[in-house]
Structure 1
Amino acid sequence: MAAARRVLDRRPASPGGTVSNQPWWRHAVIYQVYPRSWADADGDGVGDLPGITSRLEHLADLGVDALWLSPFYVSPQNDGGYDVADFRDVDPLFGTLADLDALVARAHDLRLRVVVDVVPNHTSSEHPWFHAALAAGPGSPERARYVFRPGRGDDGSEPPNNWQSKFDGPAWTRTTDPDGSPGEWYLHLFDGSQPDLDWTNPEVHAELESVLRFWLDRGVDGFRIDVAHGLVKADGLPDADLSLDETRDRSSLLPMWDQPGVHDVYRRWRALVEEYRGTQTALWGEDDDRMLCGEAWVQPAEALAAYVRPDELHQTFNFSFLMTPWRADALRASVDDALASAGAVGAPQTWVLSNHDVVRHATRLGRSDATQVAEVEGIGPRDEQPDPVLGLRRARAATALMLALPGSAYLYQGEELGLPDHTRLPDEVLQDPTFARSGGTRHGRDGCRVPVPWASDGPSLGFGPGEPWLPQPPGYADLAPGRQRGVEGSTLELYRRLLRVRRELGLGTATLTWLPDAPPDVLALRLLDADGTGVAEVRTNLSDAPVTLPAGEVLVASGDLDDGRLPSDTTVWTRLTGS
């Protein structure tokens, strides 16, 4: 009986303060951990699983519901672990399977669920399957697991089509036959060391489903699916219209993305994870679902919503919100579009502002053009340097707005400390393949992957006993948790309060309505409970001048208020008078 009470007490409230009976994934706040950069226990300069386990209390104290681990699998690390050579084991760089089991057990002790990455679009070129494919030759069952094709032209010297890699350059690499002559080409939508799997092959389906079961059997609570929109390619692999941008145009117009057959994959996966419901009731009570979240850069919102129909994925990342300029009209339209499209299929919306692939929002919102575009490409020392004070002020306001929105939310490691990107990393330390494949014209994603500072001094600011794999900028020392914990107004304390009030008021399960009398450059919304009663109001001032606040108890503000007025680039949550 005591154990059941413990489970119920951990559930967030519904609007109005009653216990929520909605599944956890509909309202959870999930924290992304990038293992290379979280904490280094063995001193080799790279983060690892024991390091993560040693810092889990930080997440429990912060108030999140789950952590998502980016890849820790066996890998040559050509793309930060997203080039997987063995889907069923831990790379020695990060530890062992026993370390993973210990991490999951400790997280569960702290009432944190664990979501892990799965990478189904491609493998590493070091995967045994790919070695076998190269050895077996054209037309073999081994090659049928990947996308091999003869080249175009009389001598086959041209790639099979015009597709381009996401890391720049052609998406095809030509093989060499055993006799030394040029052979077939293989597809890689990312780096050349990441050959795409062929999802028309039943053997590929069976293998990835087996991988899901392997990790579910070890107790994980869900999966984040890398490149979820890329598994199935258009029949015949036709040339693409290279003038289209899948992040802004209809991605389904491109033959390598968002093809109808991908939805059949996720129907099978949804049925698979539902087989595991109820296997951990001692931990979670009746709220014992396993969750699938897709990384799908798909437009428009209605096309993305197709991935979260009731028999498919539970969540997809809302990248449109992440990419919205810092402007009231754009943000309101983005929120409306997102909630309407997800609501049409009965799904919750999922909000995110930063991750391991984009410039942190504390940096990109400090750019001079942040009100016109949302920059997600890496920033280097030769680029315009953002205003760090402005960026952090806007980032705090953006987070306070995001965490008030109905649905689930994702945080990226270190954003609760106000970490910016390292925008002055020298070329010689960069490791993202984007930089090399673009000939240095694209800086890549290393700036947002710099190791977390846990202390304000030492060679790696508490990250580990040795030099970190990427250097930390000098300003990180002042952002360490010890400098912020218990300090009123610090970014860490702001996040802790936002998450506590969000849980207490059940904002993740609330309904949103816009307030009609707000100035044009102010976002003003009311959150309602199931009976239509207002629970709280949220205002974000994106104008250049302070605006007057109506009467009400201030629950939390992203910055100092100005004698009853809301300053620019500030968000406030208020409790309605009499509620």
Structure 2
Amino acid sequence: MAAESALVSEATWWRQSTVYQIYPRSFADANGDGIGDLPGITSRVSYLKELGVDAVWLSPFYPSALADGGYDVDDYRNVDPRLGTLEDFDEMASALHDAGIRLIVDIVPNHSSDRHEWFREALASPPGSPARERYIFRDGKGKNGELPPSDWDSVFGGSAWERVTEADGTSGQWYLHTFAKEQPDFNWDNPEVRQDFLTTLRFWSDRGVDGFRVDVANLLVKDLPGDLPSRAELDAMDRDSGTHPLMDRDEVHEIYAEWRAVFNEYDPPRTAVAEAWVDSPVRRAKYAAPGSLGQAFNFDLLTADFDPAAFRRIVTDNLAQSASTGSSSTWVLSNHDVTRHATRYGLPPLGERKGVKQGIEWMLAGAPADGVGLELGLARARAATLFLLALPGSTYLYQGEELGLHEVGGLPAEVRQDPAYHRSVDQPEWSYDGLGRDGCRVPLPWTSSGPSFGFGPGGAHLPQPEWFGAVSVQTQEVDPGSTLDLYRDALRLRRSLLGAEALEWSDVSGGEVLGFVRPGGWLTVTNFGTAPAALPAGELLLASAPIADGILPGPATAWLRIQ
């Protein structure tokens, strides 16, 4: 196929790509069971093509009990039957490739599901058996092993250890789970684990997958002595030396060197991007090195206010990091784990609020009259999006942000699915902004009316709010000033404007205004304030808000051609 031939001709397509993240269960439902599926994605490929994205990142679609939204994987080389079949996957991949869109899939190597065949075998096998060596099992403390091996907490709250019942019915060993108890950690010192993941990488690469997003890439390798350190001792340990017992150990890059060798077996080489929550740029750069995964997410803007000084510092720092590795930067404002940025930007600054939960509760009750609210948040989000799309590097978009979707607040506890929410009843600090992550995972609105706003004929697995109809794809497609229209125009223009991966800060910067120039005379000017600012001379290409008489309102971003 001509489109596919052109598709595989570039080994560096990922460097300045726009990647659209699909959370499969909430994108489009073809069979009417209320859960999004792979045929649903295939049915919307034309939408993705018209949007103008270069690639799709598919969040987990593997068989799963959904203890953590699909990140508890039963079988790494299959499709959840609720989402489709391997044949459906192949059809989806072919449809994307025919449309000139590449495919990145999530891979979850730190842990499996407790329903994985290996873990079931481990439970049926005695302590010290080869089956248990694939995971991290320990004897408990106390007279009869009734206490966990250490006082560590899991990411979702509660102990990081779960005791098992042995095959003879007695209480037995404990296994480590960094996340939910349904997600036992693999033992990456085990060569069988390493080899099996290489098989998985080849399995999906052979099916046409172009790259992999590596979940919690920094956690795989652990060094667990016989006498485990306490939680307080762990907290006091250095996280920047590559020697911490539980995270970001230097040995993890031996694993990724093996993965890189597999990626390079293909033409073009398969790509990878690390989700690596590490504390220093030097440590993050190791994941983006050519001999490792090749690219690593920077999440700095996810925790930054809409502020010109913060944006300039983050951009400068991350471009320097990418230059040091020869990789390219990644830019992201929203994903499946965080409150949507249209909502975040409508809240008070980080230092002036107790949390996102408080801010969203204010909005649900009616935005306060102090310049905080939904309209301001959306205006800032549109401005921030144009700012990001003009930067050197790749930009990751999260489904629904092209509609300007806000976080869906007010979901009742009985419909929420996120373990971070349910396990935070007694430990609010574990609750992801106090709200869990369901509010950004509500199924998308495709039509202005209907029982699920076009998501599927059988309703939606999370309730959609009434206001979804006014921001649906159908509504925005006929509105030339819509956020959807802005995204389509921006992605189309971006393709024609991209040049070398470089920028220079512009002399228009100052006060609440920040500007930079890309090679070829592409000037981006962002007004972070509310007072209007004069635009420099140039041809106006696109703006996130109406421009009159050369004045850029605030908040807004404009793209200009200046030479």
TM-score by length of 2: 0.92
Deviation track 1:235-262 (CA, whole Å, cap 9, x = no partner) reads 425334489599x985968532211111
**For 1:568, which of 526, 551, 554 is the aligned residue?**
554
How far off its partner does 1:176 sit? 2.0
* SS of residue in 2 equivalent to 1:316: coil
Deviation track 1:17-46 (CA, whole Å, cap 9, x = no partner) reads xxx977101111110111100001111100
**Separation in 2, partners of 1:478, 1:251:** 51
Aligned residue for 1:284? none
**Separation in 2, partners of 1:328, 1:384:** 28
How far off its partner does 1:380 sit? 6.7
* SS of residue in 2 equivalent to 1:572: strand
AA matched with 1:471: P
**For 2:459, which of 467, 481, 487 is the aligned residue?**
467
AA matched with 1:52: I
For the structure 1 residues 363 and 383, does the alpha-carbon distance in structure 2 shift closer, same or farther, using more than 3 Å as the test?
closer
1:27 matched to 2:16 = yes
Aligned residue for 1:525? 516
1:43 matched to 2:32 = yes
How far off its partner does 1:126 sit? 0.5
**Separation in 2, partners of 1:379, 1:537:** 34
**Separation in 2, partners of 1:252, 1:549:** 47
1:145 matched to 2:120 = no
Extract unaligned runs of 5+ from structure 2.
368-372
AA matched with 1:568: G
**Separation in 2, partners of 1:234, 1:87:** 25
**Separation in 1, partners of 2:354, 2:86:** 39
1:415 matched to 2:401 = yes
Aligned residue for 1:282? none
AA matched with 1:526: V
For the structure 1 residues 240 and 52, does the alpha-carbon distance in structure 2 shift closer, same or farther, using more than 3 Å as the test?
same
Deviation track 1:104-148 (CA, whole Å, cap 9, x = no partner) reads 011111111111111111010011101111111211100000011
Aligned residue for 2:481? 489
1:546 matched to 2:526 = no
* SS of residue in 2 equivalent to 1:292: strand
Q: Pairwise CA RMSD of aligned residues?
A: 2.5
How far off its partner does 1:375 sit? 6.4
AA matched with 2:385: T
How far off its partner does 1:318 sit? 1.1
Aligned residue for 2:472? 480
Contact 1:239 1:255 (C-alpha < 8 Å) held by counterparts = no
AA matched with 1:209: L
Q: Which moved more, 1:154-163 or 1:413-422?
A: 154-163
How far off its partner does 1:427 sit? 0.9
Aligned residue for 2:370? none
**For 1:352, which of 309, 332, 339 is the aligned residue?**
332
Contact 2:347 2:359 (C-alpha < 8 Å) held by counterparts = no
**For 2:78, which of 89, 103, 120 is the aligned residue?**
89
How far off its partner does 1:327 sit? 1.1
**Separation in 2, partners of 1:21, 1:216:** 16
How far off its partner does 1:383 sit? 8.7
1:69 matched to 2:49 = no
Aligned residue for 1:445? 437
**Separation in 2, partners of 1:103, 1:485:** 24
1:106-117 → structure 2 map (5 Å cutoff): 106-117=95-106
Q: Which moved more, 1:320-329 or 1:342-351?
A: 320-329
Deviation track 1:42-73 (CA, whole Å, cap 9, x = no partner) reads 11100001001000111100110110111111
* SS of residue in 1 equivalent to 2:34: coil
**Separation in 1, partners of 2:525, 2:241:** 33
**Separation in 1, partners of 2:92, 2:502:** 35
1:224-235 → structure 2 map (5 Å cutoff): 224-235=213-224
Contact 1:342 1:349 (C-alpha < 8 Å) held by counterparts = yes
How far off its partner does 1:479 sit? 1.1
* SS of residue in 1 equivalent to 2:392: coil
1:118-517 → structure 2 map (5 Å cutoff): 118-236=107-225, 238-241=229-232, 255-277=245-267, 288-370=268-350, 387-439=373-425, 441=428, 442=431, 443-507=435-499, 509-517=500-508
**Separation in 2, partners of 1:201, 1:259:** 16
**Separation in 2, partners of 1:371, 1:24:** 39
How far off its partner does 1:535 sit? 2.1
Contact 2:353 2:359 (C-alpha < 8 Å) held by counterparts = no
Extract unaligned runs of 5+ from structure 1.
12-19, 278-287, 529-533
For the structure 1 residues 32 and 251, does the alpha-carbon distance in structure 2 shift closer, same or farther, using more than 3 Å as the test?
farther
**Separation in 2, partners of 1:384, 1:335:** 33
For the structure 1 residues 326 and 253, does the alpha-carbon distance in structure 2 shift closer, same or farther, using more than 3 Å as the test?
farther
**Separation in 2, partners of 1:120, 1:538:** 39
How far off its partner does 1:379 sit? 7.7
How far off its partner does 1:233 sit? 1.4
How far off its partner does 1:445 sit? 0.5
How far off its partner does 1:517 sit? 4.8
Percent identity between the aligned chains?
50
Aligned residue for 1:15? none
How far off its partner does 1:502 sit? 0.9
TM-score by length of 1: 0.90
Contact 2:93 2:208 (C-alpha < 8 Å) held by counterparts = yes
